[in-house]
Amino acid sequence: AQSVTQLDSHVSVSEGTPVLLRCNYSSSYSPSLFWYVQHPNKGLQLLLKYTSAATLVKGINGFEAEFKKSETSFHLTKPSAHMSDAAEYFCVVRGSSYKLIFGSGTRLLVRP
């Protein structure tokens, strides 16, 4: 069975400093992995996806993630946080029948 664990429920950074949101996955086969962002009272927006191509994946708004099979990780990073990055971030693994299995989320706070 597939699962994801987001290691931090809250992350707080200062504007202009790097962002690291951690995600570990469990999968019995080569997974498809995604990061979604959700701003308050909004829907879900896809940031990036890994579907067994390049292990370093670039997404929108300067975010990227690296798939590390040996560590079963798919951490999300951004070199410099912006105030508009404050949101909830979900790491997601695709399971059988293309069902999506969501992590519990990481709330990113950006301090001025």
Residue whose CB is less far from other proteins, 17 or 51: 51
- Residue 104 belongs to what H/E stretch? none
Helix then strand then coil, % of the chain, to nearest 5: 10, 55, 40
User: Is residue 1 a contact residue for other proteins (CB under 8 A)?
Assistant: no
25 touches 86 (CB < 8 A): no
Distance in Å, CB of 3 to other proteins, minimum: 11
Residue whose CB is less far from other proteins, 24 or 32: 32
User: Is residue 74 a contact residue for other proteins (CB under 8 A)?
Assistant: no
* Cβ within 8 Å of residue 107, ≥6 positions away: 9, 10, 11, 87, 88, 89
User: Is residue 105 a contact residue for other proteins (CB under 8 A)?
Assistant: yes
Distance in Å, CB of 69 to other proteins, minimum: 17
Distances in Å between the alpha carbon of 82 and those of 27, 74, 108? 33, 21, 11
49 touches 93 (CB < 8 A): no
Distance in Å, CB of 102 to other proteins, minimum: 3
Residue whose CB is less far from other proteins, 3 or 14: 3
Please report, as ranges, the residues that interact with other proteins according to CB under 8 A: 32, 34, 42-44, 46, 49, 51-53, 90, 97-105
